[in-house]
Structure 1
Amino acid sequence: MASDNRPETTRAEWWRADTATLHARKQELEVLKRRLDAEQNAILAEINNRGVRGCSGHSTLAAMVFEDFLVTDKEAGARADRVLALHPNVVVGGEVVPPLDRGRRGGGHDRGRSGRRDHPHPRPHPVHGS
């Protein structure tokens, strides 16, 4: 599926834009990035729930992200953690575990390439504590 989300101007033309236009466009692009990330996360969660990652030779969601998106091990683990924290997950036996509830349900902690948990416990924010 092709996308029409092309930049409005090329890099060489930004020097011509006024400051207000630059600030407006940077905000527009941030919103677009977040929407695309949210859509990709939902797709990854669905792939994970269907068990496709296991059938394709990937032992964990983090391993699939690492190999398919050519990101670092740390980035792959962070993306997988985010997907699993934000979307419901189906565990063995068919039980649906709501987002951010995995630590209380005891869903299996699958450790992948980096040793990261595939089903993270909710952790307090390092600065805010929540």
Structure 2
Amino acid sequence: MEQVAMEKALSKSDATNNRMELPMESLRNFPIPDGQNYFEFVAMDTVDRPWEFKVSTRNEGKYKKPWMSGQWGSYAHEKGLKKGDRVKLIMQVEGNGVRSYRITAERNLAMGIWIPVEDFAS
């Protein structure tokens, strides 16, 4: 079954730093093993290039706000992402529980019309 694991509009720091803050409710879609504070995975982009990401939470305290790092900075730079662009992680869960991920990034052209950022690079 396919579902949106995470969706957000980028802040300026998301687009320019080596990590992106994630909405708290998306954390359930990244199964962090017991005793760890991170989950590593590969997501394929719209041109079938694999990107290695890592979802992490703080080790201490109640505030577990997650963020994504790994190749995030390289992905954001290569795609030319900027504040206001929308990023989605789509998760496919197989019958055996194995998860696979796809990542997409879109820019608002006008009046709610979103197009893939790759279309801007052409």
Question: Does TM, scored on the shorter chain, surpass 0.5?
Answer: no
Q: Going by fraction, where is helix more abundant, 1 or 2?
A: 1
TM range (shorter): under 0.3
Q: Going by fraction, where is strand more abundant, 1 or 2?
A: 2
Relative CO higher for 1 or 2, CA cutoff 8 Å, sep ≥ 6? Answer: 2
Normalising to structure 1: TM-score of the pair? Answer: 0.20
